[in-house]
Structure 1
Amino acid sequence: MTQAWNATVTQTGAQVTARNAAWNGGLATGGSTTFGVMGSFTAGNPAPTGFALNGTTCGGDDPGDPGGPSGVLAQTHTAGRVVTAGQTVQYSWPGIYFEGRFRGTGVGLVFDDAANDYDVAVDGQVVATLVKPGTTTRWIDGLAAGEHSVRLVKRTESPWSASAFGGLVAAAGGAILDRPAARTRQVEFIGDSLTVGYGNTSGTRDCTGDQVTRTTNTDLSFGALTARELDADYQVNAYSGIGMVRNYNGGSPGVSYGTYYDRALLHVDGDVWDRPATWRPQLVVVDLGTNDFSTPINSGEPWTDASLAAAYRATYVAFLEKLRARYGAGTTIVVVGTSLFGDKARQVVGDRNAAGDAKVRYWHLDDAGLDLLGCHWHYSVADDRLIADRLGDYVATLGIDW
């Protein structure tokens, strides 16, 4: 066993006993309570074959397939690419968030993640930043009695591993309430470290690897800020260092953004996200090209300037065709360009427009006024706010049918 809640749990051999936790008090006739345990499967911990309450065997009824979400997905409105794993969900992309409701003076959040950082907001205000929580239940308590909203967001990126969230736990005397409804508007952001929010809270350009992680906050990236201004659910499917065909300084040859786009778990070769029919964004914003063109081509790379530009153009066009096939004719796709590669991005948009796709649009990201005080000359939080304002103004001109 790795953890338990609302009960004191002991194990002798293969028998697990859960006793009422003292703080629960007595249980009135007709009343109810909940408890839970998490454990690992081994030869000494086989699948349960029996259950007894106060010594009386309880077989229960098999409800069959309820036909709806269970576990974390039943408790929370979940935005981002997740994979159900028992009563938990696993994920890799940055910026994934979970929104729930509860009654009481506190709430527990069940984690299995020793790599990432999270922000917890209650009633719209950030009340805690959890740094690498590990395998644990973290409690937010001391709240006024009553109904509350809670939002958990993954600040950091972790393409090398999967994180897991086990849901919400009510404090003594409280309850988890029905999850909030999904928003009608949906936006997907596709990009690299500039879209991630890489080191955006740093305030200095010189950062160690650990400092980059600790100061990255995808929830304050320009994409997340833009989506919240639109009152839209969103995904930030961004990967630092990656390019459309060439990665930063020619690194990791043989892989590119397209290698990972279809995945939910980035480190699992061949993984494919089981996209729910409910995810069909009205707007997709793609910002890829900085890593392709920001560093000189090294000796031994299979490119010339001309062949790199041609491969970028062809691969980008094919990627946009894929997005169009996936999301349908109603989705507006915005291709972002900068002074570094804007001419090449415009060619891609021109190719799609010439093929009859008028809902692919070009937006030039104006870098005027940016301080680039994030780690390694990335956007700062102030930059992300400025870009979000400019992007929001542009989106308002597109006539999107939300």
Structure 2
Amino acid sequence: MTSGGVSAEPGCGRVRSVLEQVHTVGRVEDLGDTLRFSWPGVYFEGRFRGTGVGVVLDCAAADYDIQIDGATAATLVTPGATTYWISGLRDGEHAVRVVKRNDTPGETSAFGGFVAAPGGVVLDRPAPRDRQIEFIGDSITVGYGNVPHTGACDPEQVKRNTNSDVSHGALTARRLGADYQINGFSGFGLVRNVAGICPGLTYRTYYDRALLNVDGDVWQNPGTWRPHIVVVNLGSNDFTDLAPGESWTPDGLAAAYRAAYDEFLRTLRTRYGPSTSLVAVGFDRNAEHVRRVVDARNDAGDSGVHYWSLDLSGLDLLGCDGHTSARDDRLIADRLAPFLRSLPTGW
């Protein structure tokens, strides 16, 4: 990685770690001078004084947006090992934000912090937001191919036209003034995956990880991630058409899905405690099964599990491969944000 990923405290020689100069709630592995990560939508926010800032990255797989004072200043496509400079700014204090646009579960990315331009300084990190939301799901949660485009959606086009920063989850969180995680994995379900791919592996195989391509990895929650709301949207892939050779029966698949969903919600409840609202999203073929699971959890005494139907009315589904578009994501956020605001969180 290009050097310069950490900075000295103003007026002294102590070198700060990356986490001391940036705010993030993403699932990261902290190596001191480097943060490693895998999930889509991971973001890093900082502050600096001066006319420019360098962003230290080491990633040949994913794309990134660099935002200065709330506006996108650059989009980096698989930047590799680099310090990318944003220069020529008004001399003064600025906010900088770097966000991973797409999902690259087979790769590990690295962020080495911010570097001030000559004459400037990296300032103390921004304060965390008071609210936290975790979004759990598949390609719809990722924002798969949601950026307007023309032509076929081959794998490279999907990567270039996926932007988790304008997914419905990211938009909803910003409307509610919340920090968020986008823990989405395209193509994977609770008990089976789209077209029967990767038998024996499911979303649950990867959920606990920070680094998705590292077998057995477990994210070490620093204790600061305590989401008030967790939104679960899993099942679209479970109920895609069966592939030749798959042994599922419709009834057997439905029963296994409901059992896995119930177990997953129990795991989330144990992890985050009784004050976290769990929102189970009904969508397409999984809707009735999700509703039944929610009813069962409520009947068992967990009133903090809520059902929400993802309404397809008015959506154009012009994202890659029939997925939601960025316009659709805005419409979904318009509907989801008021529902989340209505939950007993005090928001």
Is this a same-fold pair by TM over 0.5? Answer: yes
Q: Which residue of 1 aligns with 2:99?
A: 153
2:46 is equivalent to residue 100 of structure 1: yes
Q: Which residue of 2 aligns with 1:300?
A: 245
Q: Is the 8 A contact 2:39 2:183 kept in 1?
A: yes
Q: Return the offset for 1:103.
A: 0.3
Instruction: Give the secondary structure class of the aligned counterpart of 1:290.
Output: coil
Q: Which residue of 1 aligns with 2:317?
A: 372
Deviations 1:333-376 (A, max 9, x none): 00001232210110110111111100100001110010011111
Q: Which residue of 1 aligns with 2:186?
A: 240
Which piece of structure 1 moves more, 347-356 or 160-169? 347-356
Q: How does 1:27-176 map to 2 (within 5 A)?
A: 70-176=16-122
Deviations 1:375-398 (A, max 9, x none): 110110000000000001211222
**Which has the bigger relative contact order, CA under 8 A and spacing at least 6?**
2
Q: Is the 8 A contact 1:204 1:373 kept in 2?
A: no
Q: Equivalents in 1 of 2:42, 2:79: separation in Å? A: 16
2:143 is equivalent to residue 186 of structure 1: no
Give ranges in structure 2 of 5+ residues lacking alignment: none
Q: Equivalents in 1 of 2:214, 2:55: separation in Å? A: 26
Instruction: Give the secondary structure class of the aligned counterpart of 1:292.
Output: coil
After superposition, the CA RMSD in angstroms is 1.8
Q: Equivalents in 1 of 2:182, 2:335: separation in Å? A: 18
TM-score w.r.t. the length of structure 1 is 0.83
Give ranges in structure 1 of 5+ residues lacking alignment: 7-30, 35-62, 64-68
Q: Equivalents in 2 of 1:96, 1:122: separation in Å? A: 17
Which piece of structure 1 moves more, 99-108 or 79-88? 79-88
Q: Return the offset for 1:79.
A: 2.2
Q: Equivalents in 1 of 2:268, 2:150: separation in Å? A: 36
Q: Equivalents in 1 of 2:307, 2:43: separation in Å? A: 29
Q: Please, which of 273, 281, 286 is the counterpart of residue 341 of structure 1? A: 286
Q: Return the offset for 1:104.
A: 0.2
Q: Is the 8 A contact 2:23 2:45 kept in 1?
A: yes
Q: Equivalents in 2 of 1:353, 1:321: separation in Å? A: 12
Which piece of structure 1 moves more, 337-346 or 238-247? 337-346
- Distance change in 2, residues 1:380/1:205 (3 Å): farther
- Distance change in 2, residues 1:5/1:274 (3 Å): closer
Q: Return the offset for 1:202.
A: 3.4
Identity of aligned residues (%): 58
Which piece of structure 1 moves more, 240-249 or 335-344? 335-344
- Code of the residue aligned with 1:242 in structure 2: it is F
Q: Please, which of 358, 362, 369 is the counterpart of residue 303 of structure 2? A: 358
TM-score w.r.t. the length of structure 2 is 0.95
- Code of the residue aligned with 1:256 in structure 2: it is T
Q: Which residue of 2 aligns with 1:27?
A: none
- Code of the residue aligned with 1:236 in structure 2: it is I
2:231 is equivalent to residue 285 of structure 1: yes
Q: Which residue of 1 aligns with 2:261?
A: 316
Q: Equivalents in 2 of 1:249, 1:72: separation in Å? A: 41
- Distance change in 2, residues 1:401/1:97 (3 Å): same
- Distance change in 2, residues 1:352/1:175 (3 Å): same
Q: Is the 8 A contact 1:335 1:349 kept in 2?
A: yes
Q: Return the offset for 1:5.
A: 4.8
Instruction: Give the secondary structure class of the aligned counterpart of 2:335.
Output: helix
Deviations 1:272-300 (A, max 9, x none): 000121111000000001001122x2332
Q: Is the 8 A contact 2:2 2:56 kept in 1?
A: no
Q: Return the offset for 1:216.
A: 0.3
